[in-house]
Amino acid sequence: MLPARVRFAPSPTGYLHVGGARTALFNWLYARHAGGKFILRIEDTDAARNTPEALVAIYDGLRWLGLEWDEGPEVGGDSGPYRQSARQAIYEQHLRTLERGGHVYEDHGTTRFRSPRQPVTVNDLVCGAVTFERDEPDMTIRRPDGSFIFHFVNVVDDLEMGITHVFRGEDHLSNTPKHIELFRALGGEPPRYAHIPLILNPDGSKMSKRDQGASVQSYLDAGYLPEAVRNYLCLLGWSPKDDREKLPIEEIIRLFRPENLNRKNAAFDLDKLNWLQGEYARELEGDRLQQVARQALRAAGLPLENFSADYIDAAIQTCQGKFRLGSELPAYAGFYFTREVALDPQGVEKHFIPENREKLQRTRAAFAACEPFTADPLQAALKATATDLGVKAGVLVHPTRLAVTGSDSGPSLYHLLEILGREVVLTRLDQALAHPGFCR
RNA sequence: GGCGCGUUCGUCUAGUGGCCUAGGACACCGCCCUCUCACGGCGGGUACACGGGUUCGACUCCCGUACGCGCUACCA
């Protein structure tokens, strides 16, 4: 059997959207599964609609998702060039083949392909055998200005590049008989097609360009992890046929088969993506954790440069396993990096009340005397204070946390106190004790 | 309109004639764990679009209807 050659052939008319990314992903998965080549080809025949920015967005998006191509722009290969705008001569040559075979004719300046008008059966890897009658008007393959139409160049390139398998959106299923006719007229063998279901918006409408969350870039910007997005995209139309949902990409590659693809359009479910994102985010540790967290904190404008690397490392470490999206971090751990804490009004109302005044004062005193100022002794000091006062530790924990972080949720209190250090903790406690809520 | 594809919980799915009084996951609700948050554990409700067949027996096979989506371009 021929080594598999699959391709993703986007046209750079906008950003890379999740539907396109998922198409690229399935092609890539098949190539990796079969030990074949994954080829990127840019379909930029429509000069008016293509932009350089869109081209960069495609490259960046694919690379972010880890879908490296074996042949294509910026990588090279034996079947180039990989941008259609540079392949005009090749198209001219194949057009002559069609002319010689009497397959084309001229019509108002355009070139049209004469359909044999015989039923065509598409043997689709996903949809099975689908037969089309072929009674539509002949397709145009070349415009009066000499530029070629999608159907023609797409087929010529698949032929020239030796493409063996094509995974593409189901919207192309009805185009496929045209492509097969072209292949035959060109004397070539069509690749095996696998038409995959479309991605829908949560409301069931077709997800397209300007829909919320349609851009791969928006997930990158929002701090999603590429492995989470990629894993989620795999689940749209494919499943391992058991109960697993979070799978390492190597396992997905191993299991990926066209037969396991669905035929049903799938709605994009942000909740589920978020869940997977959380699954991956909680596994973050070490350098990767530091890198992801620092980026999120900086993006929120927190002045990390004012703090030592050790301090930042330790602060971030207390967030390990506690967040799903980097963008949650500023609210969760921003207090490490601000001078003044922003007090949560609801928390203030609940915890900064007269009956807590003495409790907080006693806690402050215990911390002031705590030596060393580290998590375990701090915990012991707080618990001892609680015992003296005859209350549960939680009664002291809440106002203390609020005073020191401004919020009633955050990292482990004792660890955060240690990192903040005695001076900051005592200062914030004093500021809190001056709050009017305590002497109503 | 014509042609094509599809239809299992709100969503993603498992299911290829009896294992299904339909399984898992997300989301939701309740309880538990707990210094908060998150995590985790336990429990709960919710689905085979509809109508005909075929069969001893249909979520699974066939036909029809409805609904959704796609194609029907000198867009890709």
Q: Quote the percentage of chain A above a pLDDT of 90.
A: 90
ipTM score of complex: 0.95
| Closest residue to B28 measured CA to C1′ | A271
A320 touches strand B (CB under 7 A): no
Strands (E), A62-145: 104-107, 110-113, 120-124, 128-132, 140-142
C-alpha A424, offset from chain centre: 39
Q: On chain B, which bases lie within 7 A of the protein's CB atoms?
A: 2-8, 10-15, 23-27, 35-39, 68-76
For residue A233, the number of C-alpha atoms closer than 13 Å in the C-beta half-sphere is 31
A130 touches strand B (CB under 7 A): yes
A392 is a catalytic site residue: no
Beta bridge partners of A111: A106, A142
Residues A253-263 pLDDT 10s: 999 999 999 99
Tokens 């040559």 belong to A93
As a whole number of Å, the CA-based R_g of chain A is 30
Quote the pLDDT of residue A203.
78
Helix/strand/coil (H/E/C) assignment for every residue in A33-75: HHCCEEEECECCCCHHHCCHHHHHHHHHHHHHCCCCCCEECCC
Quote the pLDDT of residue A261.
96
Could you give the CA distance from residue A95 to residue A109 in angstroms, rounded to a whole number? 15
Q: Which residue has the higher pLDDT, A349 or A439?
A: A349
Residue A205 has pLDDT above 90, yes or no: no
Q: What does pTM read for this prediction?
A: 0.94
Which helix H or strand E contains A102, and what residues bound it?
A: none
| Closest residue to B74 measured CA to C1′ | A143
C-alpha A394, offset from chain centre: 40
| Closest residue to B38 measured CA to C1′ | A322
Contacts 24+ apart (CB under 8 A), A68-76: A68/A38, A69/A8, A69/A38, A69/A39, A69/A40, A70/A31, A70/A37, A70/A38, A70/A39, A71/A37, A71/A38, A71/A39, A71/A40, A72/A39, A72/A40, A72/A41, A72/A42, A73/A40, A73/A42, A75/A40
Residues A116-146 pLDDT 10s: 999 999 999 999 999 999 988 999 999 999 9
A209 touches strand B (CB under 7 A): no
Helix ranges restricted to H, A369-405: 375-389, 393-405
A204 touches strand B (CB under 7 A): yes
Residues A272-285 pLDDT 10s: 999 999 999 999 99
Could you give the CA distance from residue A234 to residue A226 in angstroms, rounded to a whole number? 12
- Among the listed residues A206, A209, A241, A392, the single catalytic one is A209
Quote the pLDDT of residue A2.
77
CA A119 to C1' B64, whole Å: 25
Average pLDDT over residues A9-34: 95
Residue A415: pLDDT band (50, 70, 90) is very high
